[in-house]
Amino acid sequence: MNLLKSIAPELKHIIDAMYSVTNIDITIVDENLNRIVATNNINKVFRNKAPVNSVFHKSLMTGKQYLITDTINDPLCLNCFNKDSCNELAELCIPIHFNGKIIGVLGMCAFNEKARDNIINNKDSYIKFENQLSNIICTILSEKRFGELLEYRSTELVTLINSLNEGIIILDNNMKIMTKNNYINERLDLDINLILDIEEIIPKKSLEELDKKHFYGEVGPVKIGEYEFIINSNIIKIGGSKQGIILVFSDFNKMKESVLKSDLNKHITTFDNIIGESELLINAKRQAIQVAEKDVSVLLIGETGTGKEIFARAIHTASHRREDVFMAINCGAIPENLIESELFGYEKGSFTGANTTGKVGKFEIAKEGTLFLDEIGDLPYSMQVKILRALEEKEITKVGGHKSIKVNPRVISATHRDLHKMVREGCFREDLLYRLNVVPIYIPPLRERGYDIIMLSRYFLNHFSKIYKKDLLGFSAECEKYLLGYSYPGNIRELKNLIEYATIFEEDSIVGVKNIRKKIDSKDKQDSKTLAEMTKIYEKTIIENYLNRYGNSLEGKTEVAKQLGISMATLYRKIE
């Protein structure tokens, strides 16, 4: 881009102003001798290029100033291509510098005696003018570039906010809408050019709520048109003072859909997926099918790995909530200090380490769906009363929040513990147990389910043979006998692992007892560990889970140490 050409209008103003003071005609040429601007007299007599070998040309090449007072005889004009038709009496050429380079020449040309005398008499001050001229041009060019950069940045920003999959509205300090992006225009069917009042978009009540939070926080879900949004607001500060507000609209149903989608990836579970024909299992299934449609709280009681979650999912699929979210929470796996925020969500900035945008809790996400509270017996006592309140009053309050949010999930809980005993021992609230235990369903342990063991083994063998591309026809009679005689402390989960192991390592066309026995023996060896050894392994598993969640980086480890309430040194020692 030709620099001088880009500021031609500004240059024209400068030379016209100089002409009105000096009465000397002026022209400016660029580094290729192209005439960029000229005062009117010059425009009449000159072409649009300064002549080759002219004084302009010399000034460009050498970066020097030249004053010619006798254009006919001056040796500098000897080779000028325009020598024969030149009608100038005097000429002063001043080079123009920008960023250390010569980008053009300004020429003052006298066509009459008066102008020539003026140049000669004031030559010193015109010569001094060179520096100032370069400074002026430099300033104009810099401003021009800054303006262009500003324009680029604002276009970049507009493009960015228009490509977001969330709605954006920017308000000034008087709550006037300054900008709204394509997403919000399309969703709410707003005219792009129509300037609306923010109160015509957001319900007054929600605006008041945001106002109470000084526009630094979240409200919602807020129903606007056909959509429900979580509205997050932030203030725009310049030099410490508030200049405006940004509102970000996230589609609440989309947030729910993404949970549903991740749920779909886990397949839809129906009662047909629950394998087994033993009387105990059929009884449990019958009870579950009967209550599925009734929307009552169900407590699934059974040892670990008996299939409590698969039952909970099947109940959800058979209920009228099947199109909504199924949200499983393992109450025993979430650290005590995080459980409330996981369940109820938190307002932004409500505690150290909290996400700066706040968080929607599991209760809110599953407010119309099914909430599966696994290992309910591990729920800290202090949380039990809060869960009870949420279930009784059908509303929750986020950590650090004040507003009640309506929720109505169907709750299915599960435990392997004797909750009645826990109530007697004062570790579990009786009122919560009554609330959760409207319909208790006992899921039998595998060792009491007889031939189900063989049905499940064949089912898993078929399943893993496909995965590991093995051609296994079944189990040997000895193997089936062995499988039927084992006690399965880990129930179906353990049987599943056992069959997976046997599928991988079996070399014959039917599964024999060898690999099954080997796996169970190795487990027994594991089980014969001391309490200290088992605690160490358990600790390590917890830490590994946390490291998977927060990452193995230094920041990740610092966060894990913080969450687990241990020092970095202890953390390193434990993961050695």
Ligand X SMILES: Nc1ncnc2c1ncn2[C@@H]1O[C@H](COP(=O)(O)OP(=O)(O)OP(=O)(O)O)[C@@H](O)[C@H]1O
Q: Which stretch binds ligand X (CB under 6 A): 32-40, 242-250, 303-311, 337-345?
A: 303-311
Q: How far is the CB of 313 from ligand X (least distance, A)?
A: 8
Phi (first) and psi of residue 450, to 5 degrees: 50, -120
Q: How far is the CB of 494 from ligand X (least distance, A)?
A: 9
**343 contacts: CB under 8 Å, gap ≥ 6:** 329, 361, 362, 363, 383, 386, 387, 390, 396
Q: Which stretch binds ligand X (CB under 6 A): 51-59, 106-114, 304-312, 319-327?
A: 304-312
Residue 494 interacts with ligand X (CB under 6 A)?
no
Cα torsion angle, 331, 332, 333, 334, sign:
positive
Q: Which stretch binds ligand X (CB under 6 A): 17-25, 256-264, 491-499, 510-518?
A: 491-499
Q: Which residue's CB is nearer to ligand X, number 141 or number 502?
A: 502
Of the residues 310, 318, 329, 520, which one makes contact with ligand X according to CB under 6 A: 310
Q: Which stretch binds ligand X (CB under 6 A): 94-102, 221-229, 302-310, 533-541?
A: 302-310
Of the residues 304, 350, 357, 465, which one makes contact with ligand X according to CB under 6 A: 304
Of the residues 102, 275, 354, 547, which one makes contact with ligand X according to CB under 6 A: 275
Residue 83 interacts with ligand X (CB under 6 A)?
no
Q: In sequence order, what E strands does 422-572 have?
A: 439-442, 474-475, 510-511
Residue 165 in tokens: 């999959």
Q: How far is the CB of 507 from ligand X (least distance, A)?
A: 26
Residue 308 interacts with ligand X (CB under 6 A)?
yes
**489 contacts: CB under 8 Å, gap ≥ 6:** 303
Residue with the two structure tokens 């088992």: 534
Q: Cβ–Cβ contacts within 10 Å for residue 474, how many?
A: 15
Q: How far is the CB of 542 from ligand X (least distance, A)?
A: 16
Residue 89 interacts with ligand X (CB under 6 A)?
no
Q: Which residue's CB is nearer to ligand X, number 112 or number 304?
A: 304
CA distance 118 to 265: 88
Residue with the two structure tokens 């079996």: 506
Residue 276 interacts with ligand X (CB under 6 A)?
yes
Residue 58 interacts with ligand X (CB under 6 A)?
no
Q: Which stretch binds ligand X (CB under 6 A): 110-118, 201-209, 299-307, 384-392?
A: 299-307
Residue 307 interacts with ligand X (CB under 6 A)?
yes
Q: Which stretch binds ligand X (CB under 6 A): 259-267, 306-314, 344-352, 479-487?
A: 306-314
Q: Which residue's CB is nearer to ligand X, number 28 or number 414?
A: 414
Contact (Cβ atoms closer than 8 angstroms) between residue 304 and residue 492:
no
Enumerate residues 501-530 that contact ligand X by CB under 6 A.
Answer: none
Contact (Cβ atoms closer than 8 angstroms) between residue 330 and residue 372:
no
Q: Which residue's CB is nearer to ligand X, number 280 or number 566?
A: 280
Q: How far is the CB of 209 from ligand X (least distance, A)?
A: 39
Q: How far is the CB of 537 from ligand X (least distance, A)?
A: 17
Of the residues 60, 92, 274, 432, which one makes contact with ligand X according to CB under 6 A: 274
Please count the residues of this chain forming the interface with ligand X, following the rule CB under 6 A.
17
Measured at the alpha carbon of residue 288, what is the angle toward residues 284 and 289, in degrees to the nearest 5? 120
Q: Rounded to a whole number, what is the largest CA-CA distance in the chain?
A: 126
Q: Which residue's CB is nearer to ligand X, number 135 or number 487?
A: 487
Q: Which residues pair with 415 in a beta bridge?
A: 301
Q: Which residue's CB is nearer to ligand X, number 272 or number 576?
A: 272
Q: Which residue's CB is nearer to ligand X, number 138 or number 275?
A: 275
Residue 317 interacts with ligand X (CB under 6 A)?
no
Q: Which stretch binds ligand X (CB under 6 A): 301-309, 388-396, 473-481, 497-505?
A: 301-309
Q: How far is the CB of 276 from ligand X (least distance, A)?
A: 5
Burial (CB count within 10 angstroms: exposed 0-12, middle 13-18, buried 19+), residue 255: middle
Enumerate residues 414-473 that contact ligand X by CB under 6 A.
Answer: 414, 416
Residue 119 interacts with ligand X (CB under 6 A)?
no
DSSP assignments along 156-204, one per residue? HHHHHHHH-SSEEEEEETTSBEEEE-HHHHHHTT--TT---BGGGTS-H
Q: Which residue's CB is nearer to ligand X, number 33 or number 542?
A: 542
Q: Which residue's CB is nearer to ligand X, number 95 or number 276?
A: 276
Enumerate residues 372-401 that contact ligand X by CB under 6 A.
Answer: 374
Contact (Cβ atoms closer than 8 angstroms) between residue 69 and residue 91:
no
Q: Which residues pair with 37 in a beta bridge?
A: 28
456 alpha-carbon distance from chain centroid: 43
3-state SS track over 198-265: HHHCCCHHHHHHHHHCCCCEEEEEEEECCEEEEEEEEEEEECCEEEEEEEEEEEHHHHHHHHHHHHHC
Pairing mode, strands 227-238 and 217-224 = antiparallel
Of the residues 321, 496, 519, 557, which one makes contact with ligand X according to CB under 6 A: 496
- Please report, in angstroms and rounded to a whole number, the separation of the first and last CA atoms in the chain: 62
Q: Which residue's CB is nearer to ligand X, number 251 or number 309?
A: 309
Q: Which residue's CB is nearer to ligand X, number 60 or number 315?
A: 315
Q: In sequence order, what E strands does 325-385 have?
A: 326-330, 345-346, 359-360, 370-374
CA distance 349 to 351: 6
Q: Which residue's CB is nearer to ligand X, number 305 or number 358?
A: 305
Q: Which residue's CB is nearer to ligand X, number 95 or number 305?
A: 305
Residue 493 interacts with ligand X (CB under 6 A)?
yes
Q: Kindly state the DSSP code that residue 379 receives in the 8-state scheme.
A: S
Residue 302 interacts with ligand X (CB under 6 A)?
yes
CA distance 151 to 317: 54
State the residues that interact with ligand X by CB under 6 A: 274-276, 302, 304-310, 374, 414, 416, 492-493, 496
